[in-house]
Amino acid sequence: MWGGRFSARPSDLMQAINASIGFDQRLAAEDIAGSKAHATMLAAQGIITASDRGAILSGLDAILSEIEAGEFPFSEELEDIHLNVEARLKARIGEAGGRLHTGRSRNDQVATDFRLWTRKHLDLFDGLLGDLMAALLDQAEAHAATIMPGFTHLQSAQPVTFGHHMMAYLEMFARDRGRMRDCRKRLNESPLGAAALAGTPYPIDRDMTAAALGFDAPMANSLDAVSARDFALEALAAASICATHLSRLAEEMVIWTSAQFRFIALSDAFTTGSSIMPQKRNPDAAELVRAKVGRILGSLTALMVVMKGLPLAYSKDMQEDKEPVFEAFDALELALRAMAGMVRDMVPDEARLAEAAGAAFSTATDLADWLVMHLDMPFRDAHHVTGRIVAMAEEKGVTLDALEVSDMQSVESGITDDVVSVLSPLASATSRTSYGGTAPDRVREQVARWRDILE
């Protein structure tokens, strides 16, 4: 493509390190869409003829069909998807194919392709996150009143409902969805027409190509247009946070399915066995989702390091921008699909959850609150009294709601039989009626709110 300046072909090593067609052929559909918009604009501006435009569009459609059918002759010697498509176009339609590159460069071409590809996948993630949120919502609605232990430090803290726990993750994934939508909005400007770095002397219409490709506007600075990869970094950052949330839920699934917890069961569809231990049911899907955050966060770090020291405008280092994004987005797509499947598949063991909810004196805070509300005791004093009663229950080997009222009265004489009404896990959870609390009615309110949003 640059034979006029060079008299010899690059060495095999140069070819090996320079070629990107092995991975950037994934941009084929976006590359052809950008070329069609560019050709249509060139004809509208009188830069090429309508006849050339027609030949170019027909040739590009035929090339896309070849690619989709797996029949396109990709060549490493042509380096990348752009030159592969252009060379094939010239071979198919002749001289008209050589006019397509008028008024643009591979620098603005790849920046446009990459934004289109990233935008398409952000839209995909938006749908996948919506599906995962719907799965969580269904579980929350079905188990709005299912009692389970709430934890801090992975120690039993206060009873909550399973529905409330599911809604916590729904809120996290909703924020992930918002971050990706924000990223999409910021990246949705077109680099096409910035050319190599300085713009072009041809009378192009960048607004026309931007609109044709679904961008909100052309990018306002040609240097920025070909240099910026912050859209990819932002998308990877949002993906990394989302993967972290997926990993946290996956970790809980791993814990909850263990013999020690037995909070939920996953079916054969999302578990595997052991080659030597016939009793095993391993939550491998959850474990693999948990691991994906390393791959995705690694991609963010890799691209950040590539970009950190580059002067404006384009440097060949930026060829390393796509593989981390491709790899991370592939991993995130699979993790989102697997997690939605597992959420729908899991079956909570309500009896076991209720049993665990009452363990480790989880209603101690309810006792302290009762002392404050009924005896007008300062909370710090109530905390101390409750601690003594918990120590007594522990010594007797009983839960708080099984401790005799007379035993409690030996610590605080003002305690009455009414205290028993707040000491069961169900009573504890039901009493948490503040906005955002775990009370079943509050959970159902949030389910209804999110049902309206998602539908």
Determine the distance from the C-alpha atom of residue 404 to the mean position of all C-alpha atoms in its chain, rounded to a whole number: 51
- Whether the per-residue pLDDT at 11 is higher than 80: the answer is no
Per-residue confidence (pLDDT) for residue 275, from 0 to 100:
79
Q: Are 335 and 329 spatial neighbours (Cβ–Cβ below 8 Å)? A: no
Instruction: For 317-411, list the strands marked E by DSSP.
Output: 347-348
Q: Which helix (H) or strand (E) holds 109?
A: helix 106-142
**Among positive and negative, which fits the CA dihedral 101, 102, 105, 108?**
negative
Q: What is the DSSP letter of 186?
A: H
Per-residue confidence (pLDDT) for residue 150, from 0 to 100:
95
- What 451-454 contacts at long range (C-beta under 8 Å, 24+ apart), as own/partner pairs, is 451/137, 451/141, 454/130, 454/133, 454/134, 454/137
Region 277-285: what's the mean pLDDT? 87
C-alpha span between 187 and 210 (Å, rounded): 12
Cβ count near 209 (within 10 Å) = 26
Read off the pLDDT band of 406 (50, 70, 90).
very high
User: Over the Cα atoms of the chain, what is R_g?
Assistant: 30
φ/ψ of 205, rounded to 5, equals -120, 95
Q: pLDDT digit string (tens) for 303-358? A: 999 999 999 999 999 999 999 999 999 999 999 999 999 999 999 999 999 999 98
Region 30-53: what's the mean pLDDT? 98
Which positions are catalytic? 153, 274
Determine the distance from the C-alpha atom of residue 203 to the mean position of all C-alpha atoms in its chain, rounded to a whole number: 41
Joined tokens for residue 95: 């001289």
Closest CA to 60 of 84, 24, 76: 84
